[in-house]
Chains A and B, each alone.
Chain A
């Protein structure tokens, strides 16, 4: 070996003599990062063209600011769900957290007349409470799934129903309104034409994206999701990484819920579970190339998934598509986008391996 292999090994990027998995894998390997990340770009361009042609109001700054504001809350939840999917988990209860956390915080803040509990908590403390609730739910989920070795689907399904029940039970299906400006700032305020929620969502996407790419724990998330046994054998504390990700995911869902509460300046019993947002959360993540099997995905993809859903919704609204048909078209577009992303992204976006 010592006598004949250096020619292969010492030249660094030598030619692998092993058979690869066909043209598809060769193609995706050479372009792996780039192609995957911009896989949705053609679909987005197509949608923007369609929007521009069908409605004069589409290609305007105010419309895009609107799309941004409406998508920001969903986007933050998608970041959370993507992290959880990447470690090979899943969390259906993010929609419950998205509703319950702002509900409890608002309930402690607003006066009795607006169906509060009379504590009249400061809105800033309210936001602390909101984050604490998110963290607590995530911790509970994480402990049950990781330490209790329960199935994540069932645990978080049960948790969703518990959270939605609490959300309705606390205010007896009333709507909390009269939210103080500080509490609603994140969701309602704008700097010039730019919604604050959009800025915050973009910052979260960028920070989490950099974290995943360059930070130890971020890299550990890929390792844990890609092969937990190998990650463990390499000395990574996989339980801690997993539980940490469940906590982070739920905190992000709570922040998303805060944005939504600010945007509509109320918290209803319907927010989250009642609206069924988890479907859109999963759709955006998966369209964006986050694998349901763990270990694969990135924030550029997740963000394009969110933007795509936002634009589709916007076009359907602007074009006055009948409310009775909007869901069917929405779903069909999602399936189409998924298919296109799979074609453009090549072998690396395939689900079976």
Chain B
């Protein structure tokens, strides 16, 4: 198989509507063997629909899908479909209580299972592709990265000639992401076609030879990555009337805004959050004695590897997880550990890491989710809540965040990922917190929404004098911060106090390597 051959997967003139919404219009795309094609687009641009069509889950209203020149099998004939194309989803499709081998052959086992044959074939695939996971291991015991390898192995075991990777690095640490790129290169070198879907444009530039951009259901750009700049790509994603300077100004101007009291004594009522010697045992990474302060109007970033305790410190301060020692004080008042309700009353807003799990109630409406933190304020003295007051209270927040929905009653579960995250942020801003703890608030969110979300946090700090603790391993999130703490193995390794922060220096610090000369 060579990359110059005929298209392995070819879709032409795809149309798809859901009710009154046009999801895809005249979309064409082709992938050759050995090619890695990037697919980018904002949340709601139609990527998921295209993935569903390519995976044989949804039938297009018009247009054709062809594999190796032949028409694709009918929708629903998953077994034959999987011989051509297999999708590795963002959310793991692994059954945790089954072994690696069983997961690799999930759904494609014959009537009688030969355990030995299944293990042997799994081991053979792992060996051929240089993956290092024992076939008999229980998937519950694997890391996120290893689970993804199992999913890739599953695709290969079914003989798929094209692998769809949907946001593959969203749940991976940086190093694991790098290893994934090696694996993708290995796959393409072996003649497999890869469709790589990502919000991270730098990843696309790194491993994709070609890139296709979806916007509002149309394919607006398809070109070789080598011939494009990052700005070209952003422009294609966002549209012609997107003016780069005006969108970046709110965020960029903040970087320059004077750090309140940088160098001054932290004493006084200006201190919103004081954390002393905080320890916690957590599956997400332990904390071993972290102390920090956040002043009113200040944005403090906390970054590091996923296992370094970045999410843990946010969760503990937000009251979502127990600490095992140390002190958290908000405006001087001690907040007991693991009590989210008490923390909220003390003024701690909390934007959780996993919005699907903690961010919203899927079948309740937008307005109700946004006002969930302020029912007490909206209710009369009998605790009665008028739906009209709820909608009125939610309106300004949803407008400020440009939240797109069919109305205040639309269930949040039906919104796109970026809009769901806006609901979670709006819910937090609603109760005017004096401290906002945000954990990876821009994960899985498109470029424009990302700027908007970060801008709203910056506004809360600047306008409402709220302290913001931004826990993120996404380095570009940290641009809005006044200073950044780097955690390594649950301890503060170093602190960057002078924005703008040097990207490379941050990366080096997260790995626990000291800079030779402090600035």
Please list the residues of chain A having a beta carbon within 8 angstroms of any beta carbon in chain B.
1-6, 8-10, 12-23, 25-27, 29, 32, 214-217, 219-220, 222-223, 226-227, 229-237, 295-296, 348
Residues in A with CB closer than 8 Å to B403 are 9
Q: Pick from B241, B358, B404: contact of A9, CB below 8 A.
A: B404
| With known contacts A16-B415, A222-B361, A233–B352 Cβ distance under 8 A | yes
| With known contacts A17-B217, A227-B362, A219–B375 Cβ distance under 8 A | yes
Residue B30 CB within 8 A of the other chain: no
- Shortest beta-carbon distance from A207 to chain B in Å: 12
Q: Are A4 and B241 in contact (CB under 8 A)?
A: yes
Residue B159 CB within 8 A of the other chain: no
Instruction: Name which of B172-180, B252-260, B444-452 contacts chain A.
Output: B444-452
Q: Are B364 and A223 in contact (CB under 8 A)?
A: yes
Residue of B nearest to A26 (CB): B19
Q: Are A233 and B320 in contact (CB under 8 A)?
A: yes
Residue B341 CB within 8 A of the other chain: yes
Residues in A with CB closer than 8 Å to B331 are none
A87 to B203, CA, bound (A): 43
Residues in B with CB closer than 8 Å to A21 are 18, 414
Q: Pick from B44, B357, B373, B387: contact of A16, CB below 8 A.
A: B44
Q: Are A234 and B379 in contact (CB under 8 A)?
A: no
Residues in B with CB closer than 8 Å to A8 are 402, 404
Residues in B with CB closer than 8 Å to A232 are 320, 340-341, 358
Residue B114 CB within 8 A of the other chain: no
A331 to B507, CA, bound (A): 65
A18 to B414, CA, bound (A): 8
Instruction: Name which of B7-15, B242-250, B277-285 contacts chain A.
Output: B242-250
A230 to B369, CA, bound (A): 9
Q: Are B406 and A1 in contact (CB under 8 A)?
A: no
Residues in B with CB closer than 8 Å to A227 are 357-358, 360-362
- Shortest beta-carbon distance from A86 to chain B in Å: 12
Q: Are A15 and B21 in contact (CB under 8 A)?
A: yes
Per-residue A-contact encoding for B335-360, CB less than 8 Å = 1, 0 else: 00000110111000010100001111
A18 to B43, CA, bound (A): 8
Q: Are B364 and A3 in contact (CB under 8 A)?
A: no
- State the total of A-B contacts with C-beta under 8 angstroms: 166
Can you list 6 A-B contacts with CB-CB less than 8 angstroms, sorted by A residue number? Answer: A2-B250, A19-B21, A20-B414, A229-B357, A230-B359, A295-B361
Q: Are B21 and A226 in contact (CB under 8 A)?
A: no
Residue from A23, A216, A235 with most neighbouring chain B CB atoms (10 Å): A235
Q: Are A216 and B345 in contact (CB under 8 A)?
A: no
Q: Are A1 and B449 in contact (CB under 8 A)?
A: yes
Residue B317 CB within 8 A of the other chain: no
Q: Are A222 and B379 in contact (CB under 8 A)?
A: no
Q: Pick from B350, B375, B415: contact of A220, CB below 8 A.
A: B375
Q: Are A236 and B341 in contact (CB under 8 A)?
A: yes
Residue of B nearest to A27 (CB): B19
| With known contacts A219-B368, A236-B341, A295–B410 Cβ distance under 8 A | no
Q: Are A235 and B341 in contact (CB under 8 A)?
A: yes
Residues in B with CB closer than 8 Å to A295 are 361, 363
Q: Are A1 and B452 in contact (CB under 8 A)?
A: yes
| With known contacts A16-B415, A214-B384, A230–B358 Cβ distance under 8 A | yes
Residue B66 CB within 8 A of the other chain: no
Residues in B with CB closer than 8 Å to A229 are 357-358
A25 to B407, CA, bound (A): 15
| With known contacts A13-B406, A230-B361, A234-B427, A20–B18 Cβ distance under 8 A | yes
Residues in B with CB closer than 8 Å to A2 are 246-247, 250, 452
Residue B309 CB within 8 A of the other chain: no
| With known contacts A3-B241, A3-B243, A295-B363, A22–B18 Cβ distance under 8 A | yes
Known: A1-B247, A3-B241, A19-B49. 15 other contacts (CB 8 A): A1-B242, A3-B242, A3-B246, A5-B448, A16-B21, A16-B410, A16-B416, A19-B16, A19-B48, A23-B18, A214-B384, A215-B384, A216-B383, A226-B363, A233-B359
Residues in A with CB closer than 8 Å to B358 are 227, 229-230, 232-233
A22 to B403, CA, bound (A): 22
Residues in B with CB closer than 8 Å to A12 are 407
- Shortest beta-carbon distance from A223 to chain B in Å: 5
Closest 6 interchain pairs by CB? A26-B19, A235-B344, A18-B416, A226-B361, A18-B44, A1-B448
Q: Are B364 and A23 in contact (CB under 8 A)?
A: no
Q: Are A16 and B405 in contact (CB under 8 A)?
A: yes
- Shortest beta-carbon distance from A149 to chain B in Å: 14
Q: Are A230 and B448 in contact (CB under 8 A)?
A: no
A2 to B246, CA, bound (A): 8
- Shortest beta-carbon distance from B213 to chain A in Å: 15
Residue B372 CB within 8 A of the other chain: yes
Residues in B with CB closer than 8 Å to A237 are 341
Q: Are A16 and B375 in contact (CB under 8 A)?
A: no
Q: Pick from A4, A17, A32, A231: contact of B372, CB below 8 A.
A: A231
Residue of A nearest to B378 (CB): A216
Q: Are A25 and B406 in contact (CB under 8 A)?
A: no
Residue from B318, B373, B404 with most neighbouring chain A CB atoms (10 Å): B404
Residues in B with CB closer than 8 Å to A22 are 18
A14 to B21, CA, bound (A): 11
A216 to B411, CA, bound (A): 19
Residue B399 CB within 8 A of the other chain: yes
Residues in A with CB closer than 8 Å to B46 are 19
Residue B419 CB within 8 A of the other chain: yes
Q: Are B383 and A235 in contact (CB under 8 A)?
A: no
Residues in A with CB closer than 8 Å to B451 are 1
Residues in B with CB closer than 8 Å to A9 are 398-399, 402-404
- Shortest beta-carbon distance from A315 to chain B in Å: 35
Residue of B nearest to A224 (CB): B361
A299 to B384, CA, bound (A): 17
A234 to B345, CA, bound (A): 11
A233 to B417, CA, bound (A): 18
Residues in B with CB closer than 8 Å to A18 are 21, 43-44, 48, 414-416, 419
A19 to B382, CA, bound (A): 40
A217 to B451, CA, bound (A): 36
Residues in A with CB closer than 8 Å to B449 are 1
| With known contacts A8-B404, A9-B403, A19-B46, A29–B410 Cβ distance under 8 A | yes
Q: Are A233 and B383 in contact (CB under 8 A)?
A: no
A3 to B238, CA, bound (A): 11
A233 to B431, CA, bound (A): 13
Residues in A with CB closer than 8 Å to B246 are 2-3
Q: Are B44 and A214 in contact (CB under 8 A)?
A: no
- Shortest beta-carbon distance from B434 to chain A in Å: 14
